[in-house]
Amino acid sequence: MRWLFLLLLALGPTLPACAGDVTASEPSDVAVTIYRDPGRNGGSLRLDSLGGFAVITETRQVIIPAGRSRVRFVGVVDAIIPESAIVSGLPGGVIEKNRDAALLSPSALMRAARGKKITLKRTSKVTGKTELVSGEIVSASDQGVMFRTAAGNEALRCSGQPETFTYGLDADGLSARPTLSVLTRSSKPIAATITLTYIAEQFDWNANYTAHLNPDGKTASIGGWITLANGNSVSLNNARTQIVAGGLHREYVARFVNNQPQVIARCWPMERTSDVPLRPDRPYNLVTPYMGQDFERFDKASEIMVTGQRRGYAVPAPSPVMAMDASYAPAAPPPPPEQLGDLKLYTIPQRTTVAAMQMKQTRLIDQPGVPVEFYYATTINALSYGSAEHTSGMRMVRTLNDKAHQLGLPLPAGSILFQQDQFGRSMLVGEPALADTAEDEKIELPLGIASDLTIARRTLRRDAKSQDAEVTISNAGPAELMLELKVPLDGGQKLTSSDRPHEQRNGQPLFILKVPAGDKVTLHFNTAGQ
C-alpha cells in the first residue's frame, strides 16, 4: 500500500482546490411548459393535489472562480426532480448535482436550535409584565417541545401564559428558498451565462370556455380561458408560457421525500399538563418564532399556527371586477398550436407570472358568431320483454370545429358554460364537459334533460324472432323541436321495417323526428334477430 500513498502524494498538487460556493443570479429569463395530469381529462383543479408537471428553463449569470467550485441555484421550484436537471454554459461541465432540501421553517428552526441557547419571552404570572428568560431547547418533535431554564425543565405552552422564543444562532444548513447546487471546475475565472432546465411536479392546467347565446338563437360568442395552476411555493415570474394538450404516458417513479415531522407543542392554553388529560387527537401547533409586534397581537385564546397565520385574521375581499367599457376590443387570437409528436403545444401569447400556490387564467380564444344548432336526443331499446317503458330526452347543442364555423383550432378539454339572456339577465342553460377536440371534428354537447319532452315505448307484438314496437313522443313545450332517436342493435339484430324514414349513423339506425309544439308523434318499427 506504500506505493499507493506515494502515488497520491505525487498527484496531490495537480488536483484543483475547491474555491468554495458561488451563487448564480436570479433568473433573467424564465420559460415554462406545463403538461396536464395524464389521468385527468377535464374536471376541476385542486392546488393540494396537482398531478401534472412542468419543464422549466431558467437563464442565470454567475462568476466562476478558477478550480473546483459549487454553483448554487437559489429559488428553483421546490418540487424539482433533481435528476432531470440539465445545466449548460458551464465551461467545465457538471461533476455532481445536489438538491438542498433542508428548507427554513419554524419546525426546522426549532430542531436546529436543540442544545443551543435561546431566549424565552413570556408573561410573568406575578407582575403581568413581559420578561425574558435564558434557556436551552432539550427536545423538539411531533411529541412536544421541552426546554431547560434555571427553574428546571418545562414543556412549551404549559405555563398558562403567552410565550415564544427568540433565537441567537445562525440557521446553519437551512435554506430559506429551495436550492439546487452543482459541482464544477474551471481552469480560470470566468463570467458565464448558464441555462438550467429541469422538470418539476405539482403543476397542472385546464381549459374553461364560455358560450353566450346570441338573440338570434343560432349563433354564440365563445370565449376560452386557460387556467394555470402552481402548487409549489416558488413563483415563475414573467415567464414565456406554453401548455401541452393530449394524453402523455408518464411512468410512475417512487421518489424520496424528506418529510421531517412538524414540531408541535401539546399543552393546553391556560392549564398545566397535570390539570388536563392528554388528548392525542387535539395537539397544539407550534408558536412561530418571535417577530417584534406579532407577539403583542396574540391573546391567550388564539391558536397560533406554524405558518404564522392566526385563526380569526380578516381575509381581504377580492377586488371587484371592473366593468367592460365600449372601447373594449377582444384579445388577438393566439398563434396556432404546434405539433409535438401526437400532442399539441399551445403558446400563451403574452408573458405571464405563474404564481406560487395560485391558479390564474389567461385568454385562449375569443370567437363571436359561432353557428350552433339545438336539437334533442334520446336512445330506446330495440327489443323489450316487459311492459311500457318511459324515458326522457336530452337537450343538445352542436357545431363543427372548423373555419366555416368561426373555430378551426384544436380545443383542449375543459368545461364550457352556456348562457343566454333572459329577463335582462344572463342565465345558465348548461355546463357540459368538452373533451380534447381536434380541428374539423364535430362538437356535440348535452345541456340538460328536456322536461317538456316525454318518450314512451311499448311492444305491440312479440314472437321468438321479432318484435313490433310503438314509440310515442310528446312535446309539451311552446315550440317545435327536432328529436334524434337512436335504436341501437346488437349482434345479429336488424331493423326490418318502420313507418318513418331513418338513416344510419355510426352503423346504427337513427330517426330524425320533428315534434310540433303541444303535440305528439308516433313511430312504429319492427326488429328481428337470430
Transcribe 247-291 into DSSP letters: -------------PPPPEE-PPTTS-TTTS---TTSPEEPPPPP-
Name the architecture of domain 373-401+441-528.
Sandwich (2.60)
Which part of the chain is CATH 2.60.40.290? 373-401+441-528
CA atoms in the 13 A half-sphere facing the CB of 524: 4
What confidence score (pLDDT) does residue 5 get?
Answer: 39
Whether 177 shows a pLDDT value over 70: the answer reads: yes
- Alpha-carbon dihedral angle through residues 529, 484, 518, 212, given to the nearest 10 degrees: 160
In the predicted model, what is the mean pLDDT of residues 264-286? 46
Cell numbers for 333, please give them: 387570437
Angle CA(132)–CA(136)–CA(138) in degrees, nearest 5?
140
Closest CA relative to residue 524, chosen from 505, 501, 491, 493: 501
Angle in degrees, CA 352, 355, 356, rounded to 5: 160
Measured distance CA(296)–CA(162) in Å, rounded:
10
More confidently predicted of 235 and 322: 235
Joined together, the cell numbers standing for residue 417 give 358554460
Long-range Cβ contact pairs of 82-86 (< 8 A, separation 24 or more) = 82/180, 82/198, 84/198, 84/199, 85/180, 85/182, 85/196, 85/197, 85/198, 86/196, 86/197, 86/198
Average pLDDT over residues 272-288: 43
Q: pLDDT (tens digit, 9 = 90+) per residue, 230-248? A: 999 899 999 999 998 776 6
Distance CA 474, CA 483 (A): 11
The SS3 assignment for 108 reads helix
Which one, of 289, 304, 305, lies nearest residue 167 by Cα? 289
- Judge whether residue 108 has pLDDT over 60: no
Name every residue whose Cβ is closer than 8 Å to that of residue 231 and which is 6 or more positions away in sequence: 47, 48, 50, 79, 202, 203, 204, 357
What pLDDT score does 473 carry?
94
pLDDT of residue 247: 67
Give residue 412's pLDDT. Answer: 83
The Cα 82–Cα 93 span in angstroms is 16
pLDDT of residue 314 exceeding 70, the answer is no
pLDDT of residue 511: 95
**Digit-coded pLDDT (tens) for 77-105:** 988 888 888 998 888 777 766 665 554 45
pLDDT at site 313:
35
The model's confidence at residue 471, banded by pLDDT at 50, 70 and 90, is very high
Q: What is the pLDDT of residue 521?
A: 95
The fraction of the chain above a pLDDT of 90, given in percent, is 30
**pLDDT-derived band at 106, boundaries 50, 70, 90:** low
Q: In Å, how far are 202, 335, 413, 436 from 245, measured between CA atoms?
A: 17, 15, 8, 8
Residues paired with 316 in a beta bridge: none
- What is the residue whose three cell numbers read 381529462? 41
306 burial level (CB within 10 Å; 0-12, 13-18, 19+): middle
Burial of 231 (0-12, 13-18, 19+ CB in 10 A): buried
Chain mean pLDDT for the chain: 76
| pLDDT above 50: residue 265 | yes
Query: In Å, how far from its chain's centre is CA 288?
Result: 29
Lowest mean pLDDT among 156-165, 295-304, 389-398, 450-459: 295-304
Count other C-beta atoms under 10 Å from residue 66's C-beta. 14
The DSSP code for 401 is -
Binned at pLDDT 50, 70 and 90, residue 157 comes out as low
Q: Summarize the confidence of residues 451-457 as an average pLDDT.
A: 92
Whether 334 and 364 have beta carbons less than 8 Å apart is answered as: yes
Of these ranges, 228-237, 244-253, 406-415, 458-467, the one predicted with the greatest mean pLDDT is 228-237
Q: What's the distance, Cα to Cα, between the start and end of the chain in Å?
A: 90
How much is the pLDDT for 364? 80
Higher pLDDT, 61 or 314: 61
Give residue-wise pLDDT tens across range 337-346.
666 766 778 8
Task: Find out whether 344 and 337 touch, Cβ atoms under 8 Å.
Answer: yes
Whether the pLDDT of residue 474 is over 90: the answer is yes
Buried/exposed 452-476: b ≥16 CB within 10 Å, e otherwise: bbbbbbebeeeeeebbbbebebbbe
Average pLDDT (186-191) is 88
In this predicted structure, which of 47-51, 56-60, 142-146, 421-425 has the lowest mean pLDDT?
142-146
Lowest model confidence (mean pLDDT) among 157-161, 276-280, 289-293: 289-293
Least confident of 11-25, 242-256, 509-523: 11-25
β pairing state of 508-515 and 67-74: unpaired
Q: What is the pLDDT of residues 352-408, one digit of tens each?
A: 999 999 998 888 888 999 999 999 999 998 888 777 888 889 999 999 999 999 998
> What percentage of the chain has pLDDT greater than the value 70?
68
User: Where do we find the cell 376590443?
Assistant: 329
Residue type, 317: A
Q: Which residue do the cell numbers 436550492 mark?
A: 179
Pairwise CA distance, residues 524 & 472, whole Å: 9
DSSP string, 207-221: EEEEEEEPTTSSEEE
Report d(CA 393, CA 446) in Å as an integer.
Answer: 10
Greater confidence (91 vs 17) lies with: 91
Distant-in-sequence, close-in-space partners of 382: CB < 8 Å, separation ≥ 6: 467, 469, 487, 488, 489, 490, 493, 495, 527
Q: Is 288 exposed, middle or buried, given 0-12, 13-18 or 19+ CB atoms closer than 10 A?
A: buried
List the one residue out of 179, 178, 188, 177 whose CA is nearest residue 19.
188
Residue 64's φ and ψ, nearest 5 degrees, are -105, 125
> How does 254-281 read in b/e, with b if 16+ C-beta sit within 10 Å?
eeeeeeeebbbbbbbbeeeeeeeeeeee
Q: Closest Cα to residue 450, out of 404, 482, 407, 494? A: 482
Residue that wins the pLDDT comparison between 249 and 188:
188
What's the rounded mean pLDDT across residues 18-37?
Answer: 87
φ and ψ at residue 208, rounded to 5 degrees: -135, 135
